[in-house]
Structure 1
């Protein structure tokens, strides 16, 4: 397959990836054994691995590597990996049996803290054994350059079945021979033929790129100024700053129908409900630390801008919004009403900001993004720059029906988002069948109290659900 250049946004995710802030997304699946499930863990692993390998023909991008152009003078290239080996991508891990929820979550946090190997296709599946009740967990990681939340869920769903006895048809994954990997000189020649003829063109290109990016940002900011908070509206808290190399992972789930009923009774959405409990929980967490922000906390919210029917296409089609979370409002129902009203006001400006991030990424190009990332890292600038937001909150619609893997039912699906820029906390929610799963990924240094945050989130949800007429039910098990 011919080499392809990554888009501006996908290129940014490659160039800004750092050892302390790897930019991959993930999902944790729990498989429930049945009477036909083998008790031999080696055989069970082999069955899962074989199932995944058979489906790779449906997902050719998972057999392709991302190659960076020297000095990031051109967009990274997506090329076939001639040395692809499924054994490097589907790996076996375990917790001491019977592993409880905290042991599993601790292992997941450690795995999510590790970068994907750049000399192979940027994905990995960990098959985790030793869980209670004989269950197996699967942690799937894929680099954000290859997928956003929506496409990541859709693509990984291709690996699994809708019925335990009728596996979906798989294409031949070995139908073609991969071409040799382009050399660094070839990559440079393809991306920068003018540079090779005239080295001074690099400075000219950089200056032109910076000017073009500044002009586009100025245009977009003017369009958005009247409808969104300032880029400096987020109060400074102990959550902000350079993230560490370690991660804490927590999760819990709510009844999806109960959440929808409460949200709809206030004219809102599942996302409004989630923002309501996050705003209250973060305020309480900061108060436990002795902090009292003088303004509402602000969430960075990725927004799906995919056209209908393109959910399975890889790459990123996202924009983003900065959303005040009404965290200063203590009553959760008043907070929900404020967020619903604010969301309706923001929806009227969708045309203005729908492609903001992609247009800025295209204008900047990989060279500027790479230079910015290195400068920030070299001087720990995130410890000094004001925060753009206090938390990343992302909401992803998931499959409304159960999926199956190697004959085992997937009973839980918990999402994980990356820690980007100076954001030390990511809270991502995913609907799966009749539950709403919350995945909390946090910098272990900035958020050592992630378990307490989870408890506050559950308590905030219970206040809305119980007083809203539902019988609240939240669990991490």
Structure 2
């Protein structure tokens, strides 16, 4: 038995039929590297062997009576691989349009909370002969780093090699806590909560004072609640639209190396800002002020907490959508991102995790229902416009159970008020962009995806000539 951390549990409490809190990865697989050829049943059996005994694949939720404390993970004694690995044929002619429509539909389906919170869909019938593996996992059980590790458990550096991260030999705990034990633990945690809250007040006050001082010096990260409104900043539905893009990592590095002080992330954010500028301009809704993004930041190497899967913090940054020239945009982002990073470093890594442990399921659920039912995201200040995440991956080719990965596109969650998520992941010299939005407010995400390579080429030409 393992109790969820407050941050992990928060993703459960935030979930609703419209606001789904799972993350996805679209893996394009070349099955020609499989020594025995592709067969769905064989692939499913291999997955079953790899995940056996691995807690993140075999644990499910158990609620604490009366919601006195966060839920706990317990072993699923009735685990059945056939309830987690499925197959589906992409409609003819099996192109990218048909693929993204199927992925969008599957991404809009909630995970079954009575089972371990993950599933895989093998998509067949693609025109190019590849298959696609769609991996879904709830954010309560993975973040960016642990999600990459989850994929690594199923991948290797050569078709017949062992996985990059070998499956540990540990046994999954079999004991399931009793109702009385969970209630007692929950009551004790509830009684201790006010004392923990008091301890948080002074450190938080110091953080706020430091942020105010930085803002007066013009060295703070962008402030929330000041983002301009766009068509994807309102209430969302449970429908999802998907688009995929890719570009060369060497081009990003060439631009970065030619601009003193710039980083790979600066270039990625500059290209993202330019792509969004094109997208909104074509729709005649480009705001005068720059869009603001939330950028998740991993604190796995800095956190003092051993328990919990999600070890992240967040950074607010402007994307320079108000700047037409890509070189000027990169220069501006280089400075503002540097300030934002310094500001972020001044905030203890565990601040978000420390406050999240006070998350109450009823309070969160009521808040989500109010935002949705009263359509609060449709008016008032916009906290931020979208989420942009950049996850570094391995610089070498990977093989998913023997099939070479030809593309790895991550897809994050979207929220009421911010119905667009852009996540970038690198793999073997390429950068793969996964775009997911609310279908009603982002009906044509392909137009945004097409702008990414165009923006990078324009920036590269402007910088390198």
TM-score, normalised to structure 2's length? 0.89
Of 319, 322, 325, 1:328 maps to 322
The 1:314–1:362 alpha-carbon spacing in structure 2 relative to 1, beyond 3 Å, is closer
The 1:404–1:78 alpha-carbon spacing in structure 2 relative to 1, beyond 3 Å, is same
Of 129, 151, 174, 1:156 maps to 151
Q: Is contact 1:217-1:360 (8 Å) kept? A: no
CA displacement at 1:399 relative to structure 2:
1.8
Q: Distance in 1 between matches of 2:354 and 2:404?
A: 41
CA displacement at 1:252 relative to structure 2:
0.9
The 1:410–1:292 alpha-carbon spacing in structure 2 relative to 1, beyond 3 Å, is closer
CA displacement at 1:294 relative to structure 2:
3.2
1:232 corresponds in structure 2 to: 225
Q: Is contact 2:29-2:406 (8 Å) kept? A: yes
Q: Distance in 1 between matches of 2:172 and 2:144?
A: 29
Q: Distance in 1 between matches of 2:108 and 2:452?
A: 23
CA RMSD of aligned residues (A): 3.0
The 1:172–1:467 alpha-carbon spacing in structure 2 relative to 1, beyond 3 Å, is closer
Q: Distance in 2 between matches of 1:31 and 1:428?
A: 20
1:34 corresponds in structure 2 to: 32
TM-score, normalised to structure 1's length? 0.87
Q: Is contact 1:427-1:438 (8 Å) kept? A: yes
The 1:167–1:97 alpha-carbon spacing in structure 2 relative to 1, beyond 3 Å, is farther
Of 438, 441, 456, 1:446 maps to 441
Q: Is contact 2:8-2:308 (8 Å) kept? A: no
Deviation per residue, 1:3-39 (Å, 9 max, x gap): 1111111111111111111111111111112275666
Deviation per residue, 1:371-391 (Å, 9 max, x gap): 433433343322234221111
Q: Is contact 1:32-1:135 (8 Å) kept? A: yes
2:237 corresponds in structure 1 to: 244
- SS of the residue corresponding to residue 164 of structure 1 reads coil
Q: Distance in 2 between matches of 1:224 and 1:373?
A: 28
CA displacement at 1:147 relative to structure 2:
1.0
1:342 corresponds in structure 2 to: 336
Q: Is contact 2:303-2:311 (8 Å) kept? A: no
Higher mean alpha-carbon deviation, 169-178 vs 322-331, is at: 169-178
- SS of the residue corresponding to residue 451 of structure 2 reads helix
Higher mean alpha-carbon deviation, 274-283 vs 317-326, is at: 274-283
The alignment status of 1:141 with 2:136, answered yes or no, reads yes
1:474 corresponds in structure 2 to: none
The 1:177–1:83 alpha-carbon spacing in structure 2 relative to 1, beyond 3 Å, is farther
CA displacement at 1:422 relative to structure 2:
2.0
Q: Distance in 1 between matches of 2:102 and 2:298?
A: 30
Q: Distance in 2 between matches of 1:6 and 1:217?
A: 23
Of 77, 80, 93, 2:88 maps to 93
CA displacement at 1:170 relative to structure 2:
6.1
Unpaired segments ≥5 residues, structure 2: none
Higher mean alpha-carbon deviation, 248-257 vs 284-293, is at: 284-293
The alignment status of 1:433 with 2:428, answered yes or no, reads yes
2:210 corresponds in structure 1 to: 223
Task: List aligned pairs for 1:169-208, cutoff 5 A.
Answer: 178-180=174-176, 182-183=178-179, 187-192=182-187
The 1:118–1:132 alpha-carbon spacing in structure 2 relative to 1, beyond 3 Å, is same
Q: Distance in 1 between matches of 2:368 and 2:458?
A: 42
1:16 corresponds in structure 2 to: 14
